[in-house]
Chain A
Amino acid sequence: AQSVAQPEDQVNVAEGNPLTVKCTYSVSGNPYLFWYVQYPNRGLQFLLKYITGDNLVKGSYGFEAEFNKSQTSFHLKKPSALVSDSALYFCAVRSLSGNTGKLIFGQGTTLQVKP
């Protein structure tokens, strides 16, 4: 069965410090991985995706993620956090069943950046 896990319910960092939001996955075959961000009472905004190629993927708003096949991880990172980065972050993997592009989401991680 395919699954995504975000082991941390909340991550707290100080503004200007680097941040990491963790994600691990379990799929058979090559994974298609995504990161989304959600601000309060809003839909999800796409940050970045890994399909193939370079393991380090750069996305929107200065975020990047590193695909690690041996550790089955796809952690989200940013070198210097901003208070405005505070939001709910979701990691997702594309389901391999069917061809609809259905996504399987992790449980979400709340990022709190303090000034």
Chain B
Amino acid sequence: GAVVSQHPSRVICKSGTSVKIECRSLDFQATTMFWYRQFPKQSLMLMATSNEGSKATYEQGVEKDKFLINHASLTLSTLTVTSAHPEDSSFYICSARSWEIKQGQYSSYNEQFFGPGTRLTVL
């Protein structure tokens, strides 16, 4: 259980084009999804938090008009890199968090489940 998929796994595009990355929770409903960016041999940098049916919350320094996030359903969030440039080349990882019911109450203590990542290369 708790599988998160990303599509595509790898994409190469020309500078100036837009690229859409999908993140899906396959066997659970994800009320919250997160988008990260990771540079080689570095930690994950949180870009934004996406809640189903509402606008994403972006971290400081992340351009919301460049990185468009849509969380239209409880199993799908998309990240669109608009007008991509070579400096946008990176490894993008999504994660999803589910709610689990314990003792009749929602628990917010559960872990995030990560997708396999998308390698974006902008030429």
Contact = CB atoms under 8 A, between A and B. Distances in A.
Tell me, yes or no, whether A binds B: yes
Interface of A: 32, 34, 36, 41-46, 49, 51, 88, 90, 94, 99-103, 105-108, 110
A43 B115 contact: yes
Interface in B24-82: 32, 34, 41-44, 46, 49, 51, 57
B113 A105 contact: no
A43 B43 contact: no
B117 A99 contact: no
Contacts of B113: 46
A45 B6 CA distance: 14
16 contacts: A34-B111, A42-B116, A43-B114, A43-B117, A44-B95, A44-B114, A46-B111, A90-B44, A99-B108, A100-B32, A101-B97, A102-B34, A103-B34, A103-B46, A105-B43, A108-B41
A11 to B, nearest CB: 14
Contacts, number: 58
Nearest to B94: A43
B109 A102 contact: no
A32 B108 CA distance: 11
Contact of B42 (A51, A101, A107): A107
- The majority secondary structure among interface residues of chain B is strand
Contacts of B85: none
Given A100-B49, A100-B57, A51 B43 contact: no
B119 A41 contact: yes
Contacts of A100: 32, 49, 51, 57, 97
Contacts of A46: 111-114
Contacts of A32: 109
Q: What are the 9 A-B residue pairs with the smallest beta carbon separation, nearest first?
A: A43-B114, A44-B114, A43-B116, A51-B109, A107-B43, A43-B117, A105-B43, A100-B49, A46-B111
Nearest to A48: B111
Contacts of B114: 36, 43-46
Contact of A42 (B32, B49, B112, B117): B117
B84 interface: no
